[in-house]
C-alpha cells in the first residue's frame, strides 16, 4: 500500500562539519511521484539515503506511513523500513543471475524459494526480460541491467520506491525509453515514489510533484507546471531552464499585475531599427516586492520569439543549431548579454540582426542580485531548455 | 630481441625442461637405460616420497585455509572499519611477505627448542615444544605466510567493492549479517586467488621444510626432493619424478581457480562507485579487533623476532637467560669460526647483498623487456612467453635449482665450454631466472598502462629514442621499477633453496652461512647473523625508498601517488 511521507526540519551534517541538509521539511502524498531536483551537492542524494535509512539523520524527523523511522533518537535500519530502491549504478550483485537479483527482494515476504523464483520470472517478463532471466549482470546491456534493477524494486510491492538518478548512466535514446517505462511501471505499482535527478526535463516529465533543492535546503516545491511557470527564486529559474537573463529598469506597474520594464544594455546594443529598440515590454509582476528601480529579468526559452514586426528588442545571431523540429538561435544583445535556445522553425544565418518579441508568461522578474550573480549561473540553465 | 629469447631458453626453459624430461626419459641424459619410463613417477608415489607428498598436500591445504581465515578478517577490518593503527597494516603485511619463511621458523625454533629461550626463561612447557615442533607448527608458520596473500587479494577486491551492493541488500530487506553473506561471494575471485596462491606458495616452500619441518622429523616434498639430490648416490630421475608431482600440485589449484572464474565477471567498479563507509567500533569492539590484529603480528613477527634477537644475545650453551654481545662481537672479529665460514662472518651478508643488487638490476631490465612484450598485441611468440613465465611462477624454487644442477652438469655443457656449475655466476643466473617471471608479472600491470603516445609524443617533438624513453616512459614507470627492484632484492638476499643447491663452495651466501652455523650448534652467532641480515635488508630498502623520494623529480613521484587535498 502506498505510504505518505512526512519530513520535518530534517538536518544532516557529515563528520567534518559538511552540512548536507538544513531544516528541510516536505510532505509527500501517498501514491504520488515526487522528483527531487537539484545540482550536485544540493543534498538530494543525502535526503534519499536518509529516507532509505542508509544515512542517519542529525536532526528532524522522517515519518513513513504512521511510523517515525528517523529522528534524533530513532533510526530504523533500512531492512525494516519496507521500501525498495533503484540505484544510480543499479547495484546488481554480479554473482547472481537476473532472476536471483530480483528474487532477493522477495526474501522478506517469507515465500518459498520456488515461489520467489516464479514471481521473479513473472516480474522480469513485465519489464520485457523473461528470456534473459538466467543471465548474469555482466551479460546484460545497460538498459537491461536498468530493467532488472527496476524489477527488483517493484517485485516486493513495497509502499515506497526510491530512485537514485537511475537514468544518468544511459545514453539519450535509451534514457527516454526507460523514463517512459519507469513512469508507467511505478504508477502501475501505485507506490509512493521519490526520485532524484539533476535533469529538469526528466523531472518535469516524470513528476506529480517536484522539490527543488539548493545547498541542502528545499527552495520550492510544487507541480512541474508551478515550478516552470512561477519559479520562486532566480536559482530555481536558472536550474529549470533559461534562455538568458538581463538587468532591467522597472518603468511602470499596471493594476492588472503587469510590470513594464526596459532592458539595461551595454554600449554594444543593436539599434539598427527605428521605433524605439531596445524598447519597453510587459512582464508578469514578481512574487516579491522589488526594492529598487532595477531588477533581474529571467527569460525562459518560451519567453522570447523571433519577430521582426512586433519586436521589443534587437540582437545579432551568433550561433544557430538544428534541433530537428526547428532551429535554436543564440542571440547577442549588446556584446555581453546573450539569449540562447531562441526557437524558430526557420534558420537565421549567423551575423544577421533580428527582432525579438518577449512573452510575459516566459519572463520572470526578481530583485537585482549582487554583481557576481553571473558567476553562479549554471551552464545547463542557460543552454538546456526543457522541451515544451 | 633474439638474444633475449636465447637467454630465456638457456636459463629458464632448458634447465627445467631437461630436468622434468629426465623423469620419463633417463636415457636421453645418460641417467639410465630407458628411453621412456614411468618408473620414477611411480616410485615418487611410493614409500617416503609418497609420505612427503601427502604431508605437503594436506599441510598446504590447511595453511591456505588458515591464511584466508586470518587474512580475510584483517582485510575487512583494515578496509571497512576505523580500526586504530590500520595505516600500519599494509607495511607490516609486506614485512611478513618479504621475510624468507625460514627466518620466522628459526625464530620460533629457537624459542621452543629444548635449551631454547623459553626454557632459559624458566618456562618448562614441553607441550609447546611438541605443538610447534610438529605438523601444527608447520601449518601455523606456512599459514601465517599465506595471510599477506589473502590480505592483499581481499583488500584489493574490497577497494573496488563500493557501498551500493551492501546498501542494495539492506534496502531490499537483508539484515546486516545477510547483507554480508550476500557480499562475500562477490569477493570469490579474490578468495579463490588467495587460496590458490597460498596453496602454491606453501607446497613449493623450502624454508620451513628445511628448518622447522625437518627438525621436527616431518618431511615435506620439497625437502624430500632436495634430499634425493643431496643423498649419495644422488637420484636425479627420482627427484625429477617428485618435481612432476610438485609442479602438478602447484598447477592444479591455479588451473582450477582459472576454470572456476572463467566466463564469469565479478566486475564491480564503475565510474560512480560510492566509496564504502568505514564502520565505527564501540569501545569493546575496538579493543577486541585491535587485539586480534595485534595478536596476528605478534605471532607472525613479534615472537620469531623476539626469538631471533634474544637467541642472538644468548650464549650457545648454559641454562640461564643472561644476555651477552659476544655473538655480535664474533661477527666483527676474525676468529677460527669466522675463518671457517669463508673469510669472515660478515662476508656472507656482503656477498648476498652484492648478489641481490646484481640480480635485482638484471631482473628488472629483463622483466621490463618481458613486460613490454607481454603488453603488446598478442602473437604466438608473446603467447609462448606468457605461458613460459606463468609456468615458471608455478615452479618451486627447489625444482628450479635441481634443474640447474642437472642441466649444467651434463657432459654437453662441458663440451660446449659452459663450466658454470658451482660458480657464483650460475647462482646469480639462477636467482635472476627464478625472479624474472614474478618480476615481469609485477611490471606488466604498470607497463600495459603506458600509452604508446607518451613516447611517440616525445619523438614527434624532437627527442631521440633514448631521450624519448627517459623523458616519456621512465617517469611513468619509475615507481613500479623501484618497487620491483626492491621486491627482487628482498627475495634474493636471504633466498634459501637455490642457494642451498647452487652456492659456490667456500663462498656461502647469507642464508647458507646462517644455516651452517645453526646446524653446527652455533645458535647465537647464526641468529646474530640473521638479525643483522634483516637489519641490512631493511636499511637498504629504507635507503632506496628514501633516495627515490629525495632524488626523483617531484613529477615522477606524483605519478601513482596519493594527491592530498
Q: Model confidence over B168-207: pLDDT tens digits?
A: 999 988 988 898 888 888 888 888 888 888 888 898 888 8
More confident site: A177 or A81: A81
Q: How open is the CA angle B306-B312-B315, to the nearest 5 degrees?
A: 125
Band (pLDDT 50/70/90 cuts) for residue A384 is: very low
How much is the mean pLDDT over chain B? 82
Per-residue pLDDT, A333: 87
Q: Is A196 on the interface with B (CB under 8 A)?
A: no
Nearest to A300 by CA among A208, A231, A368, A202: A231
Count of pairs with CB atoms under 8 A, one residue in A, one in B: 86
Q: Which residues of A touch B268 (CB under 8 A)?
A: 94
Compare CB distances from B172 to A77, A152, A169 and report the shortest one's residue. Answer: A152
Nearest to B199 by CA among B221, B180, B229: B221
C-beta separation of B303 from B108 below 8 A:
yes
CA distance A108 to chain B (A): 6
Nearest to A200 by CA among A37, A40, A361: A37
In tens, the pLDDT along A294-313 reads: 889 999 998 999 987 888 88
Cβ-based neighbours of B129, under 8 Å, separated by 6 or more: B112, B113, B114, B116, B118
Asked if B173 lies within 8 A of A94 by C-beta distance, the reply is no
The mean pLDDT value for B414-433 works out to 85
Strands A160-164 and A192-197: parallel
Asked if B171 lies within 8 A of A162 by C-beta distance, the reply is yes
Q: What is the DSSP letter of A189?
A: H
More confident site: B369 or B255: B369
ipTM of the complex: 0.74
Q: Which residues of A touch B169 (CB under 8 A)?
A: 93, 104
Compare CB distances from A94 to B163, B176, B267 and report the shortest one's residue. Answer: B267
Q: How far apart are CA B533 and CA B356, in angstroms?
A: 12
Per-residue pLDDT, B274: 59
Sign for the pseudo-dihedral over CA of B132, B138, B139, B145: positive
Asked if A136 lies within 8 A of B265 by C-beta distance, the reply is yes
Q: Which residues of B touch A83 (CB under 8 A)?
A: 171
Q: How far apart are CA A137 and CA A91, in angstroms?
A: 10
Asked whether residue B562 carries a pLDDT value surpassing 50, the answer given is no
Which secondary-structure segment (H or E) carries A76? none
Per-residue pLDDT, A278: 56
The mean pLDDT value for A323-340 works out to 89
Asked whether residue A387 carries a pLDDT value surpassing 50, the answer given is no
Asked whether residue A274 carries a pLDDT value surpassing 60, the answer given is no
C-beta separation of A105 from A82 below 8 A:
no
Band (pLDDT 50/70/90 cuts) for residue A35 is: very high
Asked whether residue A13 carries a pLDDT value surpassing 50, the answer given is yes
Q: Considering only alpha carbons, which residue of chain A is nearest residue B188?
A: A95
The mean pLDDT value for B259-264 works out to 60
Q: How far apart are CA B359 and CA B5, in angstroms?
A: 18
How much is the mean pLDDT over chain A? 85
Band (pLDDT 50/70/90 cuts) for residue B463 is: confident
Asked whether residue B343 carries a pLDDT value surpassing 60, the answer given is no
C-beta separation of A126 from A185 below 8 A:
yes
C-beta separation of B201 from B146 below 8 A:
yes
Q: Which residues of A touch B176 (CB under 8 A)?
A: 77
Per-residue pLDDT, B334: 54
Q: Considering only alpha carbons, which residue of chain B is nearest residue A102?
A: B172
Asked if B164 lies within 8 A of A89 by C-beta distance, the reply is yes
Nearest to B397 by CA among B349, B435, B360: B435
Compare CB distances from A77 to B170, B266, B273 and report the shortest one's residue. Answer: B170
pTM of the model: 0.74
Band (pLDDT 50/70/90 cuts) for residue A381 is: very low
Asked whether residue B125 carries a pLDDT value surpassing 80, the answer given is yes
Q: Is A108 on the interface with B (CB under 8 A)?
A: yes
Per-residue pLDDT, A376: 40
Per-residue pLDDT, A204: 93
Question: Measured between alpha carbons, how far is residue B147 from residues A223, B91, B268, B288 in Å?
Answer: 58, 13, 24, 19
Cβ-based neighbours of A77, under 8 Å, separated by 6 or more: A53, B170, B175, B176
Q: Which residues of A touch B191 (CB under 8 A)?
A: none
Least confident range from A69-83, A196-210, B165-179, B249-263: namely B249-263
Nearest to A54 by CA among B398, B172, B355: B172
Per-residue pLDDT, B319: 60
CA distance A354 to chain B (A): 45
Asked if A95 lies within 8 A of B176 by C-beta distance, the reply is no
* Residues of B at the A interface, defined by Cβ within 8 angstroms: 162-165, 167-176, 178, 182, 185-186, 188, 264-268, 270, 272-273
More confident site: B302 or A35: A35
Q: Which of B160, B161, B162, B173 to mutate to test the interface with A (most CBs of A within 10 A)?
A: B173
Amino acid at each position: 500500500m502506498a505510504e505518505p511521507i512526512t519530513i520535518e526540519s530534517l538536518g544532516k551534517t557529515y563528520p567534518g562539519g559538511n552540512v548536507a541538509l538544513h531544516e528541510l521539511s516536505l510532505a509527500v502524498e501517498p501514491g504520488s511521484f515526487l522528483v527531487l531536483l537539484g545540482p550536485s551537492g544540493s543534498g538530494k542524494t543525502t535526503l534519499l539515503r536518509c529516507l532509505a535509512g542508509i544515512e542517519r539523520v542529525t536532526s528532524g524527523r522522517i515519518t513513513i506511513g504512521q511510523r517515525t523511522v528517523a529522528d534524533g533518537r530513532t533510526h530504523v535500519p533500512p531492512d525494516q523500513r519496507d521500501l525498495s530502491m533503484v540505484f544510480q549504478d543499479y547495484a546488481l550483485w554480479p554473482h547472481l543471475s537476473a532472476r536471483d537479483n530480483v528474487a532477493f527482494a522477495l526474501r522478506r515476504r517469507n515465500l518459498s524459494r520456488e515461489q520467489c523464483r516464479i514471481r521473479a520470472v513473472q516480474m522480469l517478463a513485465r519489464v520485457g526480460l523473461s528470456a534473459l532471466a538466467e543471465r548474469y549482470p555482466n551479460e546484460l546491456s545497460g538498459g537491461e541491467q536498468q530493467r532488472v534493477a527496476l524489477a527488483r524494486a517493484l517485485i516486493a510491492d513495497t509502499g515506497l520506491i526510491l530512485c537514485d538518478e537511475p537514468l544518468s548512466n544511459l545514453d539519450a535514446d535509451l534514457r527516454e525509453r526507460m523514463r517512459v517505462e519507469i513512469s508507467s511501471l511505478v504508477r502501475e505499482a501505485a507506490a509512493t515514489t521519490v526520485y532524484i535527478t539533476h535533469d529538469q526535463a526528466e523531472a518535469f516529465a516524470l513528476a506529480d510533484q517536484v522539490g527543488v533543492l539548493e545547498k541542502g535546503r528545499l527552495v520550492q516545491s510544487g507541480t512541474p507546471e508551478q515550478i516552470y511557470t512561477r519559479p520562486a527564486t532566480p536559482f530555481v529559474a536558472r536550474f529549470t531552464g533559461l534562455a538568458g537573463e538581463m538587468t532591467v529598469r522597472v518603468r511602470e506597474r499596471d493594476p492588472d499585475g503587469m510590470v513594464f520594464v526596459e532592458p539595461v544594455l551595454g554600449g554594444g546594443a543593436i539599434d539598427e531599427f527605428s521605433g524605439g529598440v531596445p524598447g519597453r515590454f510587459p512582464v508578469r509582476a514578481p512574487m516579491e516586492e522589488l526594492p529598487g528601480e532595477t531588477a533581474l529579468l529571467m527569460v525562459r526559452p518560451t519567453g522570447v520569439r523571433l519577430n521582426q514586426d512586433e519586436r521589443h528588442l534587437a540582437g545579432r545571431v551568433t550561433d544557430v543549431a538544428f534541433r530537428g523540429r526547428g532551429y535554436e538561435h543564440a542571440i547577442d544583445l549588446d556584446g555581453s548579454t546573450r539569449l540562447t535556445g531562441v526557437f524558430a522553425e526557420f534558420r537565421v544565418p549567423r551575423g544577421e540582426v533580428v527582432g525579438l518579441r518577449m512573452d510575459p508568461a516566459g519572463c520572470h522578474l526578481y530583485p537585482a542580485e549582487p554583481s557576481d550573480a553571473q558567476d553562479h549561473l549554471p551552464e545547463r540553465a542557460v543552454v538546456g531548455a526543457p522541451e515544451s | 630481441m633474439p638474444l633475449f629469447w636465447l637467454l630465456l631458453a638457456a636459463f629458464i626453459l632448458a634447465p627445467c625442461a631437461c630436468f622434468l624430461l629426465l623423469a620419463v626419459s633417463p636415457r636421453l641424459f645418460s641417467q639410465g637405460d630407458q628411453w621412456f619410463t614411468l618408473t620414477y613417477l611411480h616410485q615418487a608415489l611410493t614409500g617416503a616420497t609418497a609420505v612427503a607428498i601427502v604431508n605437503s598436500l594436506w599441510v598446504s591445504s590447511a595453511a591456505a585455509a588458515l591464511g584466508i581465515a586470518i587474512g580475510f578478517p584483517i582485510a575487512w577490518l583494515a578496509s571497512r572499519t576505523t580500526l586504530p593503527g590500520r595505516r600500519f597494516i599494509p607495511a607490516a603485511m609486506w614485512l611478513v611477505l618479504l621475510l624468507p619463511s625460514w627466518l620466522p621458523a628459526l625464530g620460533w625454533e629457537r624459542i621452543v627448542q629444548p635449551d631454547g629461550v623459553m626454557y632459559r626463561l624458566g618456562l618448562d612447557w614441553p607441550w609447546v615444544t611438541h605443538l610447534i615442533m610438529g605438523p601444527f607448527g608447520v601449518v601455523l608458520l606456512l599459514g601465517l605466510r599465506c595471510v599477506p596473500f589473502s590480505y592483499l587479494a581481499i583488500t584489493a577486491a574490497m577497494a573496488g567493492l563500493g557501498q551500493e551492493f551492501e546498501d542494495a541488500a539492506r534496502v531490499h530487506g537483508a539484515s546486516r549479517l545477510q547483507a554480508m553473506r550476500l557480499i562475500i561471494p562477490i569477493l570469490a575471485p579474490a578468495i579463490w586467488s588467495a587460496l590458490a596462491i597460498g596453496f602454491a606458495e606453501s607446497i613449493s616452500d623450502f624454508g620451513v621444510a628445511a628448518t622447522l619441518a625437518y627438525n621436527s622429523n616431518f618431511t615435506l616434498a620439497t625437502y624430500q626432493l632436495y634430499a634425493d639430490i643431496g643423498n649419495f648416490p644422488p637420484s636425479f630421475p627420482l627427484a625429477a619424478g617428485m618435481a612432476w608431482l610438485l609442479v602438478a600440485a602447484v598447477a592444479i589449484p591455479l588451473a582450477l581457480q582459472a576454470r572456476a572464474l572463467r566466463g564469469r565477471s565479478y566486475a564491480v567498479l564503475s565510474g560512480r562507485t560510492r566509496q564504502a563507509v568505514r564502520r565505527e567500533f564501540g569501545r569493546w569492539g575496538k579493543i577486541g579487533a585491535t587485539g586480534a590484529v595485534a595478536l596476528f603480528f605478534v605471532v607472525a613477527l613479534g615472537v620469531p623476532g623476539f626469538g631471533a634477537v634474544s637467541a642472538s644475545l644468548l650464549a650457545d650453551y648454559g641454562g640461564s637467560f643472561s644476555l651477552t654481545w659476544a655473538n655480535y662481537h664474533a661477527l666483527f672479529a676474525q676468529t677460527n669460526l669466522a675463518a671457517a665460514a669463508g673469510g669472515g662472518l660478515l662476508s656472507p651478508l656482503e656477498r648476498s647483498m652484492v648478489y641481490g643488487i646484481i640480480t635485482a638490476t638484471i631482473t628488472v631490465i629483463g622483466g621490463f623487456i618481458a613486460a613490454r612484450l607481454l603488453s603488446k598485441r598478442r602473437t604466438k611468440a608473446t603467447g609462448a612467453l606468457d605461458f613460459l613465465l606463468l609456468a615458471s611462477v608455478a615452479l618451486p624454487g627447489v625444482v628450479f635449482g635441481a634443474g640447474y644442477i642437472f642441466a649444467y652438469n651434463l657432459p654437453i655443457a662441458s663440451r660446449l665450454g659452459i663450466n658454470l656449475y658451482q660458480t657464483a655466476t650460475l647462482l646469480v643466473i639462477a636467482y635472476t631466472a627464478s625472479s624474472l617471471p614474478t618480476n615481469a608479472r609485477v611490471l606488466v600491470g604498470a607497463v600495459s598502462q603506458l600509452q604508446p603516445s607518451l613516447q611517440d609524443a616525445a619523438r614527434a617533438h624532437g627527442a631521440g629514442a633514448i631521450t624519448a624513453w627517459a623523458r616519456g616512459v621512465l617517469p611513468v614507470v619509475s615507481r613500479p621499477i623501484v618497487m620491483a627492484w626492491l621486491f627482487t632484492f628482498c627475495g634474493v638476499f636471504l633466498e634459501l633453496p637455490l642457494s642451498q643447491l647452487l652456492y659456490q663452495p667456500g663462498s656461502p651466501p647469507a642464508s647458507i652461512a646462517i644455516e651452517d652455523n645453526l646446524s653446527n650448534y652455533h645458535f647465537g652467532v647464526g641468529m646474530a647473523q640473521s638479525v643483522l641480515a634483516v637489519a641490512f635488508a631493511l636499511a637498504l630498502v629504507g635507503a632506496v625508498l628514501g633516495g627515490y623520494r629525495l632524488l626523483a623529480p617531484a613529477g615522477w613521484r606524483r605519478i601513482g601517488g596519493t594527491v592530498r587535498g
